[in-house]
Amino acid sequence: MQIHDQILTTIPIFEVSETLEEVIRFFEETTFSHVGVTENGIYIGLLSENDLACYEPDKKIEDFRYELETFYVGKETSWLDVLEMFARNEANVLPILDDDHIIIGYYDLEDIVGMFIDTPFFREPGAILVVSTGIKDYSFSEIAQIVESNNARLLGAFITDSMNDVVQITLKIGTQNLNEVAQTFRRYNYTIVFGNSDDQFLEDLKQRSDYLEKYLNV
């Protein structure tokens, strides 16, 4: 999934020599969690909205240099890694750097999640199956073969948990008979953690989408 079209160039970038007056106004007038800071045009970090109460209009950004957060992504960073970066840093905006550490724009969490929800994994009708197996035993090619051997389509697969040498893999499967697929996984010594029907999947997806929309509107 290509996300380059989602790069925003309308979010400001502040020089470390500037005062905090415009930064304060930026955070008061937007819902963004962070904003980029540069020194002579080179990225050095991010100011956080969480520190807004500490900012004084007449002080310089330089006074907060050692409080800057330093996460970012590159233009070639995959969309899954972009989502992980959002989650790991509890951010709703990410600076995108080129090879010279110059900010070329930002990703907005709402835009990236919107693209994710619009993928076939979410949009196409199907069933969700969660299986688990030993971390040394699983193979994505084997998982695909098991699904397709039952005349079903594998619409997507993610490792959603890994603990004590056991991995959980969440599958989205296009099939009318999930039970046959589940039974085949059992014959291959996979444990079935969860499986639901099309109707239940759509209801769960609606609830998650409603929750996500509320989260993004906070």
- For the chain, give the longest Cα–Cα distance: 69
* One-letter amino acid of 155: L
- Residue among 109, 65, 106 nearest 87 (CA): 109
Structure tokens at 167: 């991995």
Structure confidence at residue 35 (pLDDT): 98
Q: pLDDT of 80-91, one tens digit each?
A: 789 889 989 999
Helix axes 198-216, 109-117, angle to 10 degrees: 170
Instruction: Name which residue leads in pLDDT, 1 or 92.
Output: 92
Structure confidence at residue 38 (pLDDT): 98
Pick the CATH number of 120-214 from 3.40.50.10320, 3.30.70.260, 1.10.3720.10, 3.40.50.2300: 3.30.70.260
Q: pLDDT of 184-212, one tens digit each?
A: 999 999 998 887 544 444 455 556 666 66
Is domain 4-115 given the CATH code 3.10.580.10 in the classification?
A: yes
All structural domains of the chain with their residue ranges: 4-115, 120-214
Structure tokens at 213: 């929309």
Q: Alpha helix locations (H) across 4-78?
A: 21-29
Q: pLDDT of 96-150, one tens digit each?
A: 999 999 999 999 999 988 887 777 777 778 888 999 999 888 888 999 999 999 9
Structure tokens at 80: 């899954």
- Residue among 208, 206, 177, 182 nearest 194 (CA): 182
pTM over 0.85: no
